[in-house]
């Protein structure tokens, strides 16, 4: 831990010695959050590591991620997370010792339905009247 000391006799008779210890600042790295498709961008908790600005973390910090797809959309995949193949609305990331990008891809829900097939046989005799059947 760095220590700084200095002598101050500006007050006249008795000089004073000041000693101050400084806590080193942690190395903070930016976590960038992005998304594709319709929905909100992912959120991170906590919002930052202790001693770092919002959106920045120290290496090794475990971060919980939450995604919110729009109605009619779902999560297709994550990138930059502990489980990129997850389709869950939650995931995690351990902050590396560098700036890092996490992204979630939203995909539109597809309609699920069934085709119903009714075979129909028409047994129509030709009309003897001019102009067809009336």
E strand residue ranges, the chain: 3-8, 16-21, 29-36, 39-45, 56-57, 62-69, 73-79, 90-94, 100-108
pLDDT band at 40 (very low <50, low <70, confident <90, very high): very high
Q: Is the pLDDT of residue 19 over 90?
A: no
Instruction: For the full predicted model, state whether its pTM sits above 0.75.
Output: no
Write the pLDDT tens digit of every residue in 96-131: 999 999 999 999 999 776 777 777 776 766 666 666
Question: How far is Cα 87 from Cα 75, in angstroms, rounded to an integer?
Answer: 5
């Amino acid at each position: 831990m760095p220590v700084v000391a200095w002598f101050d006799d500006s007050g006249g008779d008795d000089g004073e010695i000041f000693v101050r210890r400084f806590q080193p600042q942690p190395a903070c790295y930016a976590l960038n959050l992005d998304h594709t498709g319709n929905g909100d961008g992912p959120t991170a908790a906590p919002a930052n590591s202790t001693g770092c600005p919002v959106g920045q973390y120290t290496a090794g910090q475990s971060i919980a991620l939450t995604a919110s797809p729009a109605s009619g959309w779902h999560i297709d995949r994550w990138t930059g997370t502990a489980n990129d193949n997850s389709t869950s609305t939650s995931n995690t990331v351990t902050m590396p010792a560098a700036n890092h990008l996490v992204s979630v891809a939203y995909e539109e829900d597809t309609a699920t339905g069934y085709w119903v097939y009714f075979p129909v046989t028409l047994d129509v005799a030709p009309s003897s009247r001019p102009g067809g059947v009336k």
